[in-house]
């Protein structure tokens, strides 16, 4: 699969979140579920062969396989997410054994750039999703990402934002950064007939403290 440009990545991910927060228990986004999102302004020209963010040539990156957030009781496997048939980013299946999902076209945790992990707030008939309490995180709360090579990358929450779906801050979430960072994203706010009104986004930076 051809890697995405940052603009395409941001557009696809925003579309996925808009769809994933609408309806109940959607296992994958559907292009007919919501109107198309506003595309963020490009920061650089799109190219036919964009580079994959956060990768160093010749050095395969270890991908995330687990996520632990002690402050909100999260200890979950992490699955890989790609693109759905309609071009939006996949969301994790809404099943009883709900788990988080890493979007594999974002940098792996520990590599430079914003690594993106998605999770449901609820699944099925109102059962708690893996990110049910994401909005309760506070500055300094520790996040640990387990990688497939057996190492753990630690982050600390810098801020948590609740934003309207229609005003998703694509540049803040997907914009270039000069260090490894993490974004945890789920749905939030009041639930209406069209799904959840908002998105909850936890921003995290490398942690310097030991557990």
User: Is residue 135 helix, strand or coil?
Assistant: helix
Residue 80: closest CA among 110, 102, 53: 102
Q: Higher pLDDT residue, 63 or 61?
A: 63
End-to-end CA distance of the chain: 38
Q: Read off the pLDDT of each residue in 42-53 and give the average, rounded to a whole number.
A: 27
Q: Higher pLDDT residue, 106 or 5?
A: 106
Helix (H) or strand (E) holding 166: none
Domains of the chain as residue ranges with CATH: 6-39+62-206 (2.40.260.10)
The pLDDT of residue 193: 81
- pLDDT bin (cut points 50, 70, 90) of residue 115 is very high
Which residues face 181 on adjacent strands? 114
Which residues face 145 on adjacent strands? 67, 153
In this prediction the pTM is: 0.77
- pLDDT bin (cut points 50, 70, 90) of residue 86 is confident
pLDDT in tens, 131-172: 999 999 999 999 999 999 999 999 999 999 999 988 999 899
pLDDT in tens, 14-39: 555 554 675 433 333 233 333 333 33
The pLDDT of residue 124: 77
The pLDDT of residue 26: 31
Q: Which residue has the tokens 């945790």?
A: 109
147 with 67: CB under 8 angstroms?
no
Q: List Cβ neighbours of 111 (8 Å cut-off, separation of 6 or more).
A: 54, 55, 56, 61, 180
Beta strands 113-118 and 122-123 are: unpaired
Specify the length of the chain in residues.
211
Helix (H) or strand (E) holding 156: strand 152-164
Q: Which two tokens stand for residue 43?
A: 């920061």
Task: Report the alpha-carbon distance of residue 23 to residue 36 in Å, rounded.
Answer: 16
Of 9-18, 70-79, 164-173, highest mean pLDDT: 70-79
Average pLDDT for the chain? 78
The pLDDT of residue 12: 57
Task: Report the alpha-carbon distance of residue 160 to residue 104 in Å, rounded.
Answer: 23
In degrees and rounded to multiples of 5, residue 12 shows phi and psi of -65, -40
* Res 182 pLDDT > 70: yes
* Res 7 pLDDT > 60: no
The pLDDT of residue 140: 97
The pLDDT of residue 69: 98
The pLDDT of residue 48: 23
Task: Report the alpha-carbon distance of residue 84 to residue 88 in Å, rounded.
Answer: 5
């Amino acid at each position: 699969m051809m890697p995405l440009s940052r603009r395409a990545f941001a557009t696809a991910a925003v579309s996925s979140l808009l769809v994933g927060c609408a309806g109940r228990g959607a296992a994958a986004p559907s292009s007919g579920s919501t109107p198309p999102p506003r595309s963020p302004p490009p920061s650089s020209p799109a190219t036919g062969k964009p580079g994959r963010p956060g990768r160093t040539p010749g050095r395969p990156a270890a991908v995330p396989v687990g996520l632990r957030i002690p402050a909100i009781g999260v200890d979950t496997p992490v699955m890989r997410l790609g693109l759905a048939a309609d071009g939006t980013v996949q969301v994790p299946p809404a099943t009883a054994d709900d788990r988080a999902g890493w979007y594999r076209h974002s940098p792996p945790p520990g590599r430079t750039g914003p690594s993106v992990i998605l999770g449901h707030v609820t699944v099925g008939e109102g059962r708690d999703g893996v990110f049910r309490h994401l909005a309760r995180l506070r500055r300094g709360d520790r996040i640990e990402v387990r990688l497939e090579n057996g190492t753990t990358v630690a982050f600390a929450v810098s801020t948590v934002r609740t934003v309207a779906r229609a005003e998703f801050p694509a540049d803040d979430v997907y914009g270039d950064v000069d260090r490894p960072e993490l974004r945890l994203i789920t749905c939030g706010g009041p639930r209406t007939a069209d799904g959840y009104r908002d998105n909850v986004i936890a921003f995290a930076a490398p942690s310097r403290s030991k557990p």
